[in-house]
Every structure is written in structure tokens, then in C-alpha cells.
Amino acid sequence: MMQRPRGTRDLLPPESRLWQAVETVARETFGAFGSEEIRTPVFEPTELFVRSVGETTDIVHKEMYTFPDRKGRSLTLRPEGTAGVARAWLENRLGERTQPLRLYYIGPMFRYERMQRGRYRQFSQIGLEIVGADTPLADAELLAAMHEFFVRLGFADLVIHLNNLGDPEDRPRYQDAIRAALAPRREALCADCQRRLDENPLRVLDCKVPSCQVIAADVPAMDDVAGDASRQHVARVEAQLERLGIPFVRNRRLVRGLDYYLRTVFEVVSPQLGTNAVLCGGGRYDRLIADLGGPAVPGVGFAIGEDRLVEVLPAAFAAAALARPTVYLVPIGAAAQERALELARAWVRDGVAVEVEITGRSLKAALKRADRDGVRIVAMLGDDELAGGTVTVRDLALASQTALPLAALPGFWRALPPAPAKP
Ligand code: ATP
Ligand code: MG
């Protein structure tokens, strides 16, 4: 039997309802903060990610799905969303529009990862970018939109970790400081980190190997090495968060896995997730568009891991999303079957979700099926009902039954009281 590739998933009903509900909240929330959706290709020239994400990052170094197309051009399935947004900004001359642009995206990303819980080779991210604003207010607004999204989903236990990564001018000084601090313990680092120490010492701070994390805990913080401009920038972001009552902690080791970040960087951590606890990562990337050959356009953004988010979705939100009320219309007899779709369409046009019994189940079998699938409202249409222009409606949650004129069903449906909680 054919099987899906490792690290991919089939998203089935009813779980797909959770994803839809989450995405609806994302669209509503980010839209309310003035952003609009952008959809960029799922594959891009490989060079885009090498230049933006960075050659020495784990993503470019070992996680990309890269392949030649039929003409031998090197393409890569996008491992993240910001590079494509930056490319689209340049290619479509979005700089000619009023700045800033607030853009959100929702879609699949691809990374060749080792398989473990919360880590997939195709996963989905929900991201938001503010391009064309370099102020601390932009970072704070972005974080406020992110926080509002999590609040609307009902999260109460998430922690925002925030750090200052400094400006690019500070980077060499910081790299020297890390090298100096870690040189004596080089042999104790994992093989990857020994390479990182030479190529890109910041990456050592991002290593997942526990013994490396212990060693990395002793290196100086970027904030101690950074210049005034970045420190004041991040301090003003923090002041805004305090004003907004958005809780955060300063995590002086936070560096993030992409090269293009500077100044503000952050992660959102869920205590429920264990090892792969990071739900969301983001930061400021003022040099990214310039590095891709464009003008110096600042930006700030984040990406939420939707797979992990759905895994820890608050129970009340999940329950509401999974409760999908429909009317189950059961025609009894040939004449009723002839009428069923016509009736269903009229109700659908009036705002009702209707599921028609199209397989010809008997009433008894239909009621059994309703019970099994948790259907609450069964609308029965038999010869008597047809003759009288009515429908018999049974509420399985309340164990009650009434006859209604056909046109009255949508009103009945809208006025339905919530089902009593199951014992
Ligand atoms: P990690 O440190 O866990 O590898 P990352 O730094 O590589 O994460 P980002 O590039 O910041 O992750 O992506 C943002 C979010 O996307 C992550 O916080 C996570 O929730 C999610 N994510 C990243 N990689 C995966 C994956 N392979 N499977 C599922 N979700 C992922
Ligand atoms: Mg990663």
C-alpha cells in the first residue's frame, strides 16, 4: 500500500475543523490590526533562502528540500515565509505603496528534520510581517497582534521570551566574545557546535543538545556587547508591552535560528509542549531586503507553528470548534427523497447547515447513525409531512420532538438553545 512520505500528515475531519477555526481567528485578528493576506509560492529559487536565511544556519545547512527542475534550475520548497515575502516585496515593487505594509500568511513550510513529536517535514505556519517601519512601536504592535491572537484562542499559560540581538555592527564583537568564552571548552561541545564556533558562533546558543546548552549558558549576553541604539530600541518595545499588560521575560540567550534577525527577537513558549516547546518565533530584520539586493527597508515579523499550536489548543476553544451543528434531513419514502435536495437548498440559503440522508437509510438506521455521529437535530420528512407541508424535528440532545412548517425550520434552528452538557 502507498504511504505518505515520512514527516507529513493527513489532516482529517474533525481535526481539520480545529485548523479552520484557528485560521479564522488569525485572519480576523491580524485583519483587525490592519494587515492583509499575502500568498507567495511554495517553492522559490534556492538562492533566495541561502542569501536570506543564511548559509550557516541549520535550515540551509541540512534541512532544505532542494531539487533541480527539468531545466536544471535549483529550486527549494520554502522552509519559512519571510524570505518569500521579502522577495515578493521587491519583485512587485511594494515599496511604491504606502508604508508600512502589514502582511500575514498561512501555509505549508518544508524542512528535512529528524522525526520527533511536534516536528514534521511538512508543517504549517501562520505568520505576520510589518514591512517598512523601523520603530519600536512597530515591534510592539506586532507583538500586540500576536498576543491578541493567543488571547482569543483562550491561552493563559504561554510565555513570551524576548531578547536584543544587537545591530549587525555589534555582531563581530559579539562573535569574538562567544569564541573567547567557549574556546577553553571547545572539546565538550557537540561536533556541530565545534563547526558553528568557527563559522557562526551565535548558532551555538541555539543548539538543542543539552550539554551544549549548559555550556552556552555562561557566554556573555548580546545586550552587554550591543550598542546604545539597539538597547534603547528593545527597551522601548518592552515599555510598550508593559503598558499593554503583555507579560514577557527577557531571555538573554535567545538568538533564533535565522541569520537575518537583529535588535528585537522573541519566542513564545508553551509549558505543555515539552522538548519542542516553541510555538512562535520572530524578530526584526532591517537588512534582509537590502541583502536580497533591494533598498534598506526595515521589517519585523513572526511565524507561529500551527501544528504545535493545534496540539495545545485550549479545551474550550477546541470544543466550540468541534461542535459542528447540522440538521440531518431524513426523507422517508420515494416522494420525500425527490423533494429533499430542494428543501435542503432552501434551508441552506437561509443559513442552515444541512446534511441530507442520500444513501436511502431507513428512519431507524438514520437515527442510529445520528446517535453515533453526535448529530443533534434530525428533520424527518415522510408522506404525512409532505402532505401537510411540515417537517418533524427531533432534538436528540433534549429528547424532544415537534412538527414545524417547512419554512419555519431556519428560525427554529437559529433559536436552538445550547445542548445540555453530557453527563
Ligand atoms: P526549533 O527551534 O523548534 O527547530 P525553529 O527556530 O527552527 O524552531 P522557526 O524557524 O522560528 O523555528 O519557526 C517558527 C515556528 O514554526 C516554530 O516555533 C515552531 O512552532 C514551528 N516549526 C518550526 N519547525 C517545525 C517543524 N519541523 N515541525 C513543526 N513545527 C515547526
Ligand atoms: Mg528548527
Q: Are residues 85 and 19 in the same domain?
A: yes
Calculate how far, in angstroms, residue 204's C-alpha sits from the geometric centre of ligand 1: 17
Atom 8 of ligand 1: nearest residue by CA position? 278
Same domain, 291 and 356: no
Same domain, yes or no, for 154 and 277? yes
Residue 130 shares a structural domain with residue 243: yes
Whether 259 is in the pocket of ligand 1, judged by its Cβ within 6 Å, is no
Residue 153 lies in a domain: yes
Quote the CA–CA distance of 69 and 263 in Å, as a whole number.
38
Domain harbouring 370, CATH code: 3.40.50.800
Into how many domains does the chain fold? 2
Please indicate, yes or no, whether residues 299 and 395 belong to a single structural domain of this protein: no
> Of ligand 1's atoms, which has the minimum distance to the CA of residue 280?
18
Q: Whose CA is nearest to atom 25 of ligand 1?
A: 119
> What mean pLDDT is reported for the chain?
95
All three cell numbers of 266, joined, read 522573541
Q: Are 158 and 268 in contact (CB under 8 A)?
A: yes
pLDDT > 90? residue 206: no
Residue 62: which domain range? 15-167+226-318
Report angle CA 305, 286, 129 to the nearest 5 degrees.
35
CATH number at residue 49: 3.30.930.10
Domain boundary among 318, 336, 356: 318
Residue 324's pLDDT is: 81
Q: What is the CA radius of gyration of the chain?
A: 27
Residue 124 sits in the same domain as residue 238: yes
**Domain stop point among 268, 299, 318:** 318
Distance 62 CA to ligand 1 centre (A): 14
**Is the beta carbon of 305 within 6 A of some atom in ligand 1?**
yes
**Domain match, 251 and 117 both:** yes
pLDDT band at 423 (very low <50, low <70, confident <90, very high): low
Domain contains 302: yes
257 pLDDT above the threshold of 80: no
Let me know whether 26 and 161 are in one domain.
yes
Residue 365 sits in the same domain as residue 236 = no
Distance of CA 348 from the midpoint of ligand 2 (Å): 45
- Ranges 162-166, 202-206, 280-284, 393-397: which has the least confidence: 202-206
Angle between helices 15-32 and 315-322 (to 10 degrees): 110
How would residue 200 be classed by pLDDT, with cut points 50, 70 and 90? confident
* pLDDT for 306: 98
Residue 116 burial (C-beta neighbours within 10 Å; 0-12, 13-18, 19+)? exposed
Spatial distance between the Cα atoms of 39 and 55, rounded to a whole number of angstroms: 25
Whether 259 and 392 share a structural domain: no
- Which residue, 298, 318, 338, sits at the end of a domain? 318
Q: Quick check: 60 and 49 in contact, CB under 8 A? A: yes
> Percent of the chain having pLDDT more than 90?
84
My answer on whether 135 and 278 are in the same domain is yes
Q: Is 60 a pocket residue for ligand 1 (Cβ < 6 Å)? A: no
Q: pLDDT tens, 31-88?
A: 999 999 999 999 999 999 999 999 888 899 999 999 999 999 999 999 999 999 999 9
DSSP designation for 93 = T
Candidate from 272, 278, 300, 306 with most ligand 1 atoms within 8 A of CB, to mutate: 278
Contact 125 CB / ligand 1 (< 6 Å)? yes
**Alpha helices (H) in 299-422, listed in sequence order:** 306-311, 315-322, 334-349, 363-372, 383-388, 409-414
